[in-house]
Chain A
């Protein structure tokens, strides 16, 4: 069945560079674009690539999973995956768990990493955390400057037509809704 084409790829794509389709394997392998593309083929020798061979070190014992490194002392509550044999030697200490979201995170980390409960609970905790933060701001008599925090000044600077259009749609929608409600009351 013939496909419907929104537009033809022939019209979209520039002329393919050398080495492209419709060449035989031999022609493709003979390609040399070094005169037109800066650096072409400089890593053609696979041995030169940092990832080859994939595992560079010889086999070493699994005991090196946790080499004897100095342990950072936890000064705040640190969540440890149930799949870790021990607390890692270092960790971040910013934003320790607090409030309801903190309790939710405590609960989430009781599940192993393959469990959906863990990740969905963490995502839910993230949303609760945002609400807690707004209340924390208000408790300090500070109203979050959402306009600035969302960087919306740049929207006005770089997408003025979009802002005006969105504002016009919003105003017209509100006006239309108001008219509909008034006409219903009147009827």
Chain B
């Protein structure tokens, strides 16, 4: 089969690989019809995630058709259209039984802190991902979610990660009616978090980013206010001023490990790897919310430590909530929003790239070229 393979930082190659096999009786093989490049794939692409091995196929956002099932799979048949949450989970352990599918204890031998994730280094289990023609899906009975007829593949693909992750970012912020909500990052996760904040009754939503084109997109897509921190020399001061010096009720960090805005954070976190990425957005989130406010962290950070003002968390009495999204838990509600016409997730797709040209897709997304918000990958033969 044709698959994207990692060759080193900023280098990917499309090449032939053996088709995936059933390796466990709970497995299924899915023929991929749509995949996306996620912002967190860029952390791999930039060489920031430990144990990212040459030859791995990335891609944790994909949908497709069941091609083959293992002996223990009961609920799926060949030809079923399915969306596959980015988390790999057993559905039966202590955490899965609580709906914490992103924290499954049975799918990642390499680390206990993180569950398994498709195509996301050996730090999350060493599975190949969906930027390929075929992919192996473990515990397929638990993982694969049938796609309703009225939902197309493009929207379904955005329900494998981006939309439910943004939704959970907003949900973890504990938004109440009329709350003021600050969203850091105008990428797909930030856009979906901002939209979801409105669903939860927010009174005011502002998205923070450094790129004017992304903020322009956010204004239209999420009907929110926007703030470009590159236009000021003290972002937190402006954000506090905007909230009448009280601070914001909630802040959602949708940026994670490669935040811009602080030279010290960027050099120590991204260039020198002395901390687990640049935590500038989280730093600003903590400082921008009001006393007693909530900071929700849905952006991805590395496995070591970060410099953030934890003293301010204590002094302000903040609540921090964070997790990898439990996609399976959120998808039913996300699909209801799509069916109700509240949102059309595929509106964020700006680029459709053949799998054969995925290297250009990575470069365009990474370098923020051509107004890129979300690139979708189309495998050969997919209509």
Contacts and interface: CB of A to CB of B under 8 A. Distances in A.
A21 B204 contact: yes
B157 to A, nearest CB: 20
Given A39-B199, A65-B93, A91 B126 contact: yes
A152 interface: yes
Interface stretch (B61-69, B105-113, B309-317): B105-113
B198 interface: yes
A20 to B, nearest CB: 4
Binding site secondary structure of chain B:
loop
A12 to B, nearest CB: 6
A31 B204 CA distance: 10
Interface string A74-94: 010011110110011111111
A123 B199 CA distance: 41
B198 A20 contact: no
A31 B205 CA distance: 13
A31 B203 CA distance: 6
Nearest to A64: B94
B327 to A, nearest CB: 10
A187 interface: no
Interface string A104-145: 010011000100100110110111011011000000000011
B92 A130 contact: no
Given A51-B330, A81-B110, A18 B116 contact: no
Interface in B217-255: 219, 223-228, 231-234, 237-238, 241-244, 246
Contacts of A109: 110
B241 A9 contact: yes
Contacts of B364: 151, 154, 158
Nearest to A36: B223
A33 interface: yes
A16 to B, nearest CB: 6
Nearest to B24: A72
A157 B372 CA distance: 14
Contacts of B25: 70
A186 interface: no
Interface string B67-111: 000001000000000000000101011100111100001111111
> Which 4 residue pairs of A and B lie closest in terms of their CB atoms, listed nearest first?
A19-B203, A39-B342, A151-B363, A28-B178
Given A51-B326, A91-B110, 19 more contacts: A16-B225, A38-B343, A41-B200, A51-B330, A57-B98, A72-B24, A78-B109, A81-B109, A81-B111, A88-B108, A88-B109, A90-B139, A94-B126, A113-B112, A119-B302, A122-B51, A144-B7, A144-B11, A149-B359
